[in-house]
Amino acid sequence: MTIHPSSSANVVWHQASVTQERRERLNGHRAVNLWFTGLSGSGKSTLAHAVEERLHELGCRTFVFDGDNVRHGLCGDLSFSIEDRHENIRRIGEMVNLFLQAGVIALTAFISPMRSDRQRVRDIIGDDAFVEVYCRCPLEVCEERDVKGMYKKARAGEIKNYTGISSPYEEPVHPDLILDSGSRPLEECVEAVIRLLRERKIIEQG
């Protein structure tokens, strides 16, 4: 568990008697964050939910944080400027940290285009708990999919600061897992994630 200094006055961290380690033993698995990053349309959310489905079948405690869903509530006051994107990811990192303390496997599907922001989440929750999964998919494939019609609007200049078009995406340098989500079948991607979790003894074999 990671505890960070607070700028709020007169607040003291209350140490619970039921610890993260006890919750993990009860759940039968470690609490980690699977951070799925990649361009819009790369298949992050689809993969995150498919992995959650598989983990749920294995009896794991899970929760998926989806980029659009979070912006309907927790981060509904933020724009897509660089500054607000930084704050968006910071809030997600802190929320994920709470879920990890609850012993949950948190799956996060965010474009999170800046390496510094992804590193910030790693710093918040701890290196051992951050598993970066890069959904590598060519821009042209993402544009072909364009299920939300966002790329078309971005190309027409109707959306500003759109990642891959008018705003940069910084690929992970050393991700824990690279999945060619533009060409690799979904089930193979799911199995690759599950295999990694077993190799790292986050979930049990079998």
Pick from 159, 139, 128: which is nearest to 38 by CA?
Answer: 139
Q: Which two tokens stand for residue 99?
A: 């879920």
> Are the beta carbons of 177 and 166 closer than 8 angstroms?
no
What six digits make up the tokens of 142? Answer: 């993402």
**Phi (first) and psi of residue 104, to 5 degrees:** -95, 150
Tokens 């199995």 sit at which residue?
A: 191
12, 144, 160 from 35: Cα distances, Å = 30, 24, 25
Active-site hit among 112, 166, 167, 183: 112
CB 42, CB 114: distance < 8 Å: no
Half-sphere exposure of 156 (CA within 13 A, CB side): 6
| Three-state SS letters, 140-194 | HHHHHHCCCCHHHHHHCCCCCCCECCCECCCCCCCCCEEECCCCCCHHHHHHHHH
112 given a catalytic annotation:
yes
Catalytic residue positions?
A: 112
